[in-house]
Structures are given as C-alpha cells and as structure tokens.
Structure 1
Amino acid sequence: MAKPNAKGPVRTVQIYCSKCKFQLFKYRKGGKGALVKCFKERIVEDFTHEEGICPSCHGQFARNALIRGAPALKIVGTKVTMK
C-alpha cells in the first residue's frame, strides 16, 4: 500500500468541534474534499488532551485507525467543522 505524501500539503485548516465550537487542532489538509481522516503526522497543533475526544464537551469526534500503513484519526460523521 502507498503511504501518504511524505512532504505533505501546505494548506493549513483549523478543525473545530461541531457541538461546542472548541478548536481541536490545526491540520495540513490535502485536496478540496470533505474531512474524512486526519493523518497524525500532518497535525500541526493539537489542543486535545485525549485522542478523538473534545476537551470541552467530552464528545467523541474521531477514532484511531491505520490508513495506508500510517496512524490516523478517522472522523465520525459530522462531528467536526473546518475553516
């Protein structure tokens, strides 16, 4: 399986909890589609204490996954928004 692009994209987006609007992290996103997964190596700043759990409302927004051989967070439904 192919790994994600090692260099990584340059476009940075802010990821927020849909429920309480708390900023979860800054992420280097590639492409222009919806946010389905977040590779852990592309997270620039992480504002969470537990992986996949919002520190403000304690809702689960993602779960751990192994995608293309790289650790990632798989986003649950419409639990996050990005700007």
Structure 2
Amino acid sequence: MAKPNKKGPTKTVDIFCKQCNQVLYKYRKGGKGTLVKCFIERISKDYTKTPCICPSCEIQFARKTLIRGTAAYKFIGGKVWFK
C-alpha cells in the first residue's frame, strides 16, 4: 500500500479529550470522515507531555502503531473529538 502524502492537507483540526475537553493536537486532516487515526508526521502542534496520554486527566486516548509503514496513533473509540 502507498504511504500517506508527506506534505498532507492544509486544513487543520483541533483534537480534544472527550472527558475533560483538553486540547491534545493540532492536526492536518484530509477528507470528511471520522477521526480513527492520526499520522505523527501530520501533527502540526502537540500539546501532550507523554504520547497518547491526556495531560490534564491522564487517561490513555490512543495507541502507537504502524499504518502503511508510517508511525501513527490509533485512537481508542469515544476518547477524542475534533473540530
């Protein structure tokens, strides 16, 4: 399978923790679909101290994985939302 485009889309979205509404990432998302994964190279601003852990309520919201040969965070269902 093809790797994701390095430059990626120009539209950015803010990703929030569902439990405490803390901003987690500013992410360059492509398409209109739901937020299932987030490629690490497309994160433009990271507000977390440790990867995949919310800085305020300290719940785990994602798992680190490889998708199409590229490092990504796969979100746990119902833990994050974006706008």
TM-score by length of 1: 0.97
Post-superposition Cα deviations, 1:34-53, rounded to whole Å, max 9, x if no partner, equal 00000000000000011100
Post-superposition Cα deviations, 1:32-73, rounded to whole Å, max 9, x if no partner, equal 000000000000000001110001000010000000000000
Would you say how many aligned residue pairs link Structure 1 and Structure 2?
83
Query: Percent identity at matched positions?
Result: 61
Gap runs ≥5 in structure 2: none
* Shift, 1:7, TM fit: 2.2
Correspondence 1:66 to 2:71 = no
CA distance in 2, matches of 1:7, 1:57: 32
Alignment RMSD? 0.6
TM-score by length of 2: 0.97
